[in-house]
Amino acid sequence: MILGDYRMENSTIKDVTNYLEELAPLADAEDFDNVGLLVGNYNTEVTGILIALDTLEATVDEAIEKKCNLIVSFHPIIFSGLKKINGANYVERVAIKAIQNNIAIYAMHTALDNSFDGVSAKMCAVLGLKNRQFLLPNATNEKIGMGMLAEFPKEMEEIAFIYLLKDKFNAAGVRYSDLLGKKIKKVALLGGSGSFAIEAAKKAGADVYVSADFKYHDFFKAENRIILVDIGHYESEQFTKNLLEDYLSKKFSNFAIILSEKNTNPINYL
């Protein structure tokens, strides 16, 4: 094997995670998070990778069916400590099923959120935004941060932008604050729960801030200075799978890299 080249005859989980951590170092994850190899052994040879947003029982079943022994998941299925593993809840059942079937689970979550080429960057790419920069740069490390601030090449009407979001992110429902009768040019985005960055988006002079999980009173914070748009948690992060597939496929060709076909969005719309 040529140094730095992961195109080897036999690749281990460690080979894969080393490469993933070039994109999103685990040290860059938030302190509260639980990232990295949650289930499995680093020395195991990889037979196939299933890329998922969430690791549920159906996800493990899919990995078994498709002969993938490594699940690369955005969200960590094990978030807080487990004192017992007896199948009493969905988290324990996933862990049991994965262990029984020799399937490893690796989670990226806020390590990828904080990457310049991570979750929010993929949202920018989906919308065709340019000139991106961090919305919330890290105070001690300028190479990482949360969210993105970017621009459209040409400004567009507000309602046209709302419809563009709905279409591009396959959103069954889009919630937004009052339209302001202005053109949209500068856009702030943050995948997942992003109400904590509303003030940063306003301070940055964004015309609109796109994220998820806004509460009722969060929308009042728009204060006729910005449009706040909630496209849904799952919807905002769904293209993370495509990002990881593209990234891994550049280095590994000796096993299948498969996008999970399971829709793990727990929210239904009528």
CA-wise closest residue to 91 among 115, 43, 127, 59: 59
**3-state SS assignment for residue 63:** helix
Residue carrying the six token digits 């029982």: 57
pLDDT at 259 over 90: yes
CA 166 to chain centre: 18
Cα separation, 11 vs 30, in Å, equals: 29
- Output the DSSP codes for 169-238: TT-S--EE----S--EEEEEEEEEE-GGGHHHHHHTT-SEEEEE---GGGGGGGTTTSEEEE--HHHHHT
Query: Among residues 245, 247, 193, 190, which one has the least CA distance to residue 52?
Result: 245
- Looking up tokens 């709905």, which residue turns up? 166
pTM: 0.93
Percent of the chain with pLDDT over 70: 97
Band of residue 6 on the pLDDT scale cut at 50, 70, 90: very low
- 3 pLDDT more than 70: no
- One-letter amino acid of 107: A
Strands 175-176 and 104-107: unpaired
Residue 234 and residue 267 in contact, taking contact as beta carbons nearer than 8 Å: yes
d(CA 159, CA 178): 11
Phi, psi angle pair for 21, to nearest 5°: -80, -5
Structure tokens at 34: 């639980």
Would you identify the CATH topology of the domain 114-230? Answer: 3.40.1390
Distance of CA 197 to the CA centre of its chain: 17
Q: What are phi and psi of 153, to 5 degrees?
A: -60, -35
Q: Could you say which of 3.40.1390.30, 3.30.200.20, 3.30.70.890, 3.50.50.60 is the CATH number of the domain covering 13-111+238-259?
A: 3.40.1390.30
The rounded mean pLDDT for the chain is 95
| Residue range 46-101, pLDDT digits in tens | 999 999 999 999 999 999 999 999 999 999 999 988 888 999 999 999 999 999 99
Question: What's 207's DSSP letter?
Answer: S
Lowest average pLDDT, out of 6-10, 100-104, 237-241, goes to 6-10
Task: Kindly compute the dihedral angle of the four CA atoms of residues 33, 35, 41, 43, in this order, to the nearest 10 degrees.
Answer: -140
| Residues contacting 224, CB < 8 A, separation 6+ | 178, 180
Token pair 């988006």 is at which residue? Answer: 201
Assess whether the region 13-111+238-259 and the region 114-230 belong to the same CATH fold.
Answer: yes
The whole-angstrom separation of Cα 12 and Cα 43 is 6
Query: Which tokens in the block code for residue 257?
Result: 């890299």
Return the closest-CA partner of residue 65 out of 38, 97, 106, 88: 97
Each residue of 54-89: b (16+ CB within 10 Å) or e? bbbebbbebbbeeebbbbbbbbbbbeeeeeeeeeee
Give per-residue pLDDT as tens, 119-144: 999 999 999 999 999 999 999 999 99
Domain ranges of the chain: 13-111+238-259, 114-230
